[in-house]
Structure 1
Amino acid sequence: MAVILLFIDGVGLGDEAEYNPWFTHATPHLRQLLSGHSLTRRAVGQHGEEILLLETDAKLGVPGIPQSATGQATIFTGRNAPLAMGAHMSGFPFKRLREWVERDNIYLQFEKKGWKATFANSYTKEYFERPATKRGWVSVSTAAIRSSKEPIRMLPDLLAGRAVYHDLTRRTLKRFLPDIAEISPEQAATDLWRIAQEAHLVIHEFFLSDYAGHKQDLKLISWVVETYDRFLGELVRLKKKEDVIVLTSDHGNSEDLRAKTHTENSVPTLIIGKRDGMANCELENWDLTNIAPLLHQLVQHQMNQKD
C-alpha cells in the first residue's frame, strides 16, 4: 500500500484556450483520467469511481497573488502560511518562514505517529555548498525534509534508482554532469513507485513547470507538459488498487502564457485511487490547507485496512 504526493509547481486550473499549454498540448494520459478533458477547470469533478479533481483555493483568504514559498509551506504543513506570515511570499523562504516550516511539517507529523514519509527527490553535494544569502538557497521542501530524521537522497541514490531527479529524466543534470545518462519519464515513474513501496508516504517535487511559465518558454513548456503526462500515465499504470496518488500545485502560472507572473487561478488536487480513506474529508471550500490532513487520512485508512 502506498500514498504518493506529486507536487508540481506553478500549475493552475485554467481555461480551454490557446494560451494554456495544458489544454493545447497532447496529454493523452490526463485526458484518459479526466473523461476526455485536459487539466483545466472544466474537468473539475468526479470521473468514475477512482478519479476526483478538486478545485483548490491557493489564495487562502490573503489578498494578493499566491506565491511559491507560502503556498508550498501550506502544502507541507497543513497550516495557512500566508495568513501566518501576513502575506504571500515568493521564492525561497526567509528565515521566519523557514523556521515555521521546520517546527512542524508532514515529515515530523508522520514521525510522531510512527509512520514513514520520505522525499524522493535527489540532491547533488554542490546544492548544499552554494554560498549563503540573506534568504538562503533552501526551498520549503528541502527545509521540511532536513528537519526530519529521514535521510536526504543524493546522487548515488539517484544512480541506483533509489531517488528521482526533479525534472524526472535528468536532462538538466547533464549540464553539470555530462556523463549522466538521461532516462525516460516512464523509468522515473518506475523508480518513484519502487520508493513508495518502502514508506507510508512518498513525495516528489517537479518545478520546471513554474520555471517555463515565468520564462514563457514555449519549447520547454511543451516538453514539460508531454513529459509529465507520460510520467503520470506510467505511475497510474503501475499503481495497485489500494495505492493512492495525489497531485497538487502551489499556485497558477504555466496554464496562462500571456504573462510571466503567477495567476490567481485555483490549482488542482487530483486524487487517483480508492477514496475510502476520505470519508471524513469536507470537500467543500477545498484549499491548500487540506492537502496534509488528506495524506494523514489516506495513510490512516491504509493502516486500518492492514489490521
Structure 2
Amino acid sequence: MSGIVWLALDGVGHPQDAPGGSVWDQPLDTLRPLVDAGRCLDATLGVPGLPQSGTGQACWLTGRDAVRVMGEHFGPHPGPTLQRLLESEALPVRLAQAGARVALGNEYVPAYFQALESGAGRRNRMGCFPFAFRAAGLPLNPPGVPLLGATLGLPYARPWEGRVGERAALDRLIRHGEGLARAAAELDLLTLDLWFGDLLGHAGAPDVPGDALAAGRSYLRRVDALLSGLLGAGARVALSSDHGNLEDLRTKGHTLARVPFAGAGLPLGNPTDVVEAGQILAGWFGLAPA
C-alpha cells in the first residue's frame, strides 16, 4: 500500500475522554467525523504513571511495547534505550531498508539544526519522529515535499491570538493539504509530526486559561483544514496520538485519556492500544511485527 499520509498528533486525547467545554467542543466538520468513526485506544498499557511522548511515539513507530522496554513511561525525547529500539525497528527504518519511499514533511528551521549541533554529545533533544527518520538515513526538510511547520501557523508562544487572520490561515492549510496529497502520491509514506498540541496542553491550569483554550481550539480547526485539503485531493490518511493532554486543559500535565486512531481509505482493524495500532501501521506496508 502506498500514498499514505500519517498525521501523528502529540498530546491530543480522544474526545470521548474530554471534559465538557474542551477543545473538541466546536464544529470540526472533517476531523471529528473521522475521529468518531475510528478507534479509541489505551495509551497507559497497564503501567502506572502518565503516558509520555518518548515511549508513546515509540509504540506507534515500532509496534513494540516501548513502555515495558523502558520499564516505565518515559519522555519527551528518546534516550539510549529507545534510540536503539527506533534504530532497529522504527517504521521509517524498516521501510527504507525495504526500498520504500518515505519522508517526514515537517519544516525544521535553521535554529533547530544549530541546536542539534550545539548539543552534540549531550542528551538527545530530538523527538522520536525526526530521530527515526534520521536513523533511516533520510533527510529532514526533504526536497520535493511542501514542508509544514508543526504550529500550523500559530505563534510558538504566548500571545497565540488564534483567531487573528484565521480564515486566511485555514484556507492556506486546505491548499497545503492538497499539495501534500500530491506529494504523497509519489511516496509510500509521508508523515507529519504534529507536536504543537502537546505544547499547548502544557499551558493548562485548574482554572482553564482562556487563551490556551482559544489556541487549542484554533489548532484543531487548523488540523481540520489540513485534513480537509488532504481528503479533498484524494489522499489516504491515518491519524494518531501518543497520549492525552490538550483535551483536558484543567491540568498542565499529561492525562490518562484514551487516544484516537483514525483513517480514511485504510483498514484500521480492531486494536485496543497504541502497540497494536503500531503493528497495524506496519501491516499496511506488508511488514510483519518486528
Q: Which TM-score band applies after superposition, normalised by the shorter structure?
A: 0.7 to 0.9
**Match of residue 304 from structure 1:** none
Report the CA distance shift for 1:187/1:96 in structure 2 as closer, same or farther (over 3 A): same
Cα distance change on mapping 1:266 and 1:193 into 2, 3 Å: same
Aligned equivalents of 2:140, 2:28: Cα separation in 1:
32
How many angstroms does 1:76 deviate by?
Answer: 1.3
1:63-91 per-residue CA deviation (whole Å, 9 max, x = no partner) reads 21111111011111111111100000121
1:295 aligns with 281
8 Å Cα contact 1:5-1:204 kept in structure 2: yes
Instruction: State the secondary structure of the residue aligned to 1:107.
Output: helix
- The one-letter amino acid paired with 2:133 is I
Structure 1 residue 15: deviation in Å?
A: 4.0
| 8 Å CA contact 1:163, 1:195 repeated in 2 | no
Match of 1:11 in 2: 12
Instruction: Compute the TM-score of the two structures, normalised by the length of structure 1.
Output: 0.78
Q: Give the deviation of 1:170 after TM superposition.
A: 7.3
**Candidates 62, 82, 89, aligned match of 1:77:** 62
Is 1:53 aligned with 2:2?
A: no
1:162 aligns with 2:146: yes
Alignment of 1:174-189 (within 5 A): 184-189=172-177
**How many Å apart are 1:161 and its aligned residue?**
5.5
- For residues 169 and 197 of structure 1, the distance between their equivalents in structure 2, rounded to whole angstroms, comes to 25
**Conserved 8 A contact 1:53-1:271:** yes
Q: Are 1:265 and 2:257 an aligned pair?
A: yes
- Does residue 129 of structure 2 align to residue 127 of structure 1? no
Q: Secondary structure at the match of 1:245?
A: strand
Gaps of 5+ in 2: 158-167, 205-211
Q: Distance in 1 between matches of 2:227 and 2:177?
A: 7
Shift in Å, 1:11: 0.9
CA deviation string 1:152-193 (max 9, x = no partner): 216xx5xx76322222337559xxxxxxx9782112212321
Percent sequence identity over aligned pairs: 28
Question: How many Å separate the matches in 2 of 1:230 and 1:191?
Answer: 13
TM-score normalised to the size of structure 2?
A: 0.82
Which shifted more, 190-199 or 127-136? 127-136
Assess if the C-alpha contact under 8 Å between 2:18 and 2:247 holds in 1: no
Work out whether residues 22 and 213 of structure 2, in 8 Å CA contact, stay in contact via their aligned partners in 1: no
Q: Tell me, in whole angstroms, the C-alpha distance in 1 between the residues paired with 2:127 and 2:200.
A: 18
Q: What is the match of residue 229 of structure 1?
A: 224
The answer to which of 127-136 and 106-115 deviates more is 127-136
What is the match of residue 164 of structure 2?
none
SS at match of 1:215: coil
Query: Letter of the aligned partner of 1:145 in structure 2?
Result: F
Aligned length: 265
Q: Equivalent residues in 2 for 1:192-271 (5 A)?
A: 192-216=180-204, 217-239=212-234, 243-271=235-263
Q: Following the alignment from structure 2 to structure 1, what is the Cα–Cα distance between the partners of residues 237 and 145?
A: 20
Gaps of 5+ in 1: 44-51, 174-180, 302-307
Alignment correspondent of 2:160: none
Q: CA deviation at 1:7?
A: 0.2
Give the SS at the match of 2:38: strand
What's the CA shift string for 1:166-223, capped at 9, x where partnerless? 22337559xxxxxxx9782112212321221121111111112111111121231121
Task: Say if 1:161 and 1:142 are closer, same or farther in 2 by CA, change over 3 A.
Answer: closer
Q: 1:195 to 1:16 in 2, by over 3 A?
A: same
Partner Cα separation in structure 1 for residue 240 and residue 194 of structure 2 = 11
- Structure 1 residues 119, 274: closer, same or farther in 2, change over 3 A? closer
2:161 — aligned with what?
none
Q: Is 1:143 the equivalent of 2:164?
A: no
> What SS does the corresponding residue of 1:246 show, helix, strand or coil?
strand
Q: Distance in 1 between matches of 2:18 and 2:130?
A: 34
CA contact 1:69–1:92 (8 Å) conserved in 2: yes
Cα root mean square deviation, aligned: 2.7
User: Per-residue deviation at 1:137?
Assistant: 1.6
Looking at structure 2, the residues matched to 292 and 117 of structure 1 have their Cα atoms a distance apart, in angstroms, of: 17
